[in-house]
C-alpha cells in the first residue's frame, strides 16, 4: 500500500503539471539565481520544458514550501527550511545539505546528492534517476552495508547517519534502472575494509 501511494503521488503530480493550466504554481525559469527563505504555498517549478536554461534555486533557512520540482538542467541547493516534497526530473541536479522534507524523488536521469537532511517519509527513484547519499553507518533493513548501489525493483528501510550528522531512517523504492548509491565517509569505509581483511585472514587460517 505504501509503495503504491508513493508511486501514484509522483506520477500523478508530474502528469498534473504537464496537463493542467489551472494549478497554482510559482515558476523560476529565467536562468538566474533565486534565494528562497520565506513561505510559498503553491507548487514551485523550475525550468519546466526549458532544457539548457540552468536556473538556480537556493532553499535557505526560513523557507517553507509545499512542493518543489526541478526540470531541464535546473540547479537546486537546499541548506535549510522545510518542504513536503522535492521531485527532480530530466537532468536536474539538486544537492541537499540540510533542512527537512517529507520525501525525495529522482526521475528520468536526474541526480540528487544528499549530504544532510531530515527525511521524514521516504526516497523514490525511477527511470534512470540517481540518488547519492553521503554518510556513515548505513544499514538496509537492519543489515549494515558499505558502498552500495540499490537498484532494480527494490523496497526497504534505509538507516544511518548523513555527513552532516543528521540521522536518516527512510523508506525507499527503486524502479526502472533508478538507483540509490550509498557512499560511506572515509572512516566508515576503512572499518569495512579492515573487517573484510580480517574475515579473509580467518578463512585462510582455516
Residue 20's pLDDT band, with cuts at 50, 70 and 90, is very low
Residue 176's pLDDT band, with cuts at 50, 70 and 90, is very high
pLDDT at 119: 80
The 3-state DSSP class for residue 7 equals helix
Cα–Cα dist 157/183, whole Å: 16
pLDDT at 7: 53
pLDDT at 202: 42
pLDDT at 186: 76
Domain boundaries, the chain: 2-205
Comparing 7-11, 121-125, 183-187, the range with the smallest average pLDDT is: 7-11
Residue 199's pLDDT band, with cuts at 50, 70 and 90, is very low
Give yes or no for residue 4 having a pLDDT over 70.
no
- Number of residues written out for the chain: 206
Cα–Cα dist 30/34, whole Å: 10
Give yes or no for residue 3 having a pLDDT over 50.
no
* pLDDT tens-digit series, residues 64-94: 998 999 999 999 999 999 999 999 999 999 9
- pLDDT, the chain, mean: 85
* pLDDT tens-digit series, residues 99-117: 999 999 999 999 999 999 9
> Which of 93, 98, 110 is closest to 59 using CA atoms?
98
> Which of 25, 11, 9 is closest to 89 using CA atoms?
11
Amino acid at each position: 500500500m505504501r509503495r503504491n501511494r508513493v508511486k501514484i503521488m509522483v506520477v500523478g503530480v508530474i502528469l498534473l503539471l504537464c496537463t493542467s493550466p489551472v494549478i497554482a504554481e510559482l515558476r523560476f525559469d529565467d536562468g538566474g539565481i533565486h534565494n528562497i527563505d520565506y513561505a510559498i504555498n503553491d507548487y514551485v517549478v523550475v525550468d519546466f520544458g526549458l532544457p539548457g536554461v540552468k536556473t538556480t534555486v537556493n532553499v535557505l533557512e526560513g523557507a517553507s514550501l509545499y512542493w518543489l520540482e526541478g526540470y531541464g538542467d535546473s540547479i537546486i541547493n537546499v541548506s535549510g527550511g522545510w518542504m513536503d516534497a522535492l521531485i527532480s526530473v530530466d537532468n536536474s541536479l539538486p544537492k541537499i545539505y540540510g533542512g527537512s522534507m517529507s520525501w525525495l524523488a529522482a526521475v528520468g536521469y536526474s541526480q540528487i546528492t544528499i549530504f544532510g537532511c531530515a527525511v521524514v517519509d521516504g526516497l523514490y527513484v525511477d527511470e534512470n534517476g540517481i540518488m547519492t547519499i553521503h554518510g556513515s553507518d548505513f544499514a538496509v533493513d537492519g543489515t549494515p552495508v558499505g558502498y552500495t548501489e540499490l537498484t532494480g525493483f527494490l523496497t526497504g528501510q534505509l538507516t544511518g547517519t548523513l555527513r552532516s550528522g543528521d540521522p536518516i531512517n527512510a523508506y525507499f523504492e527503486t524502479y526502472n534502472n533508478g538507483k540509490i548509491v550509498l557512499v560511506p565517509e572515509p572512516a566508515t569505509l576503512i572499518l569495512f575494509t579492515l573487517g573484510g581483511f580480517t574475515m579473509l585472514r580467518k578463512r585462510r587460517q582455516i
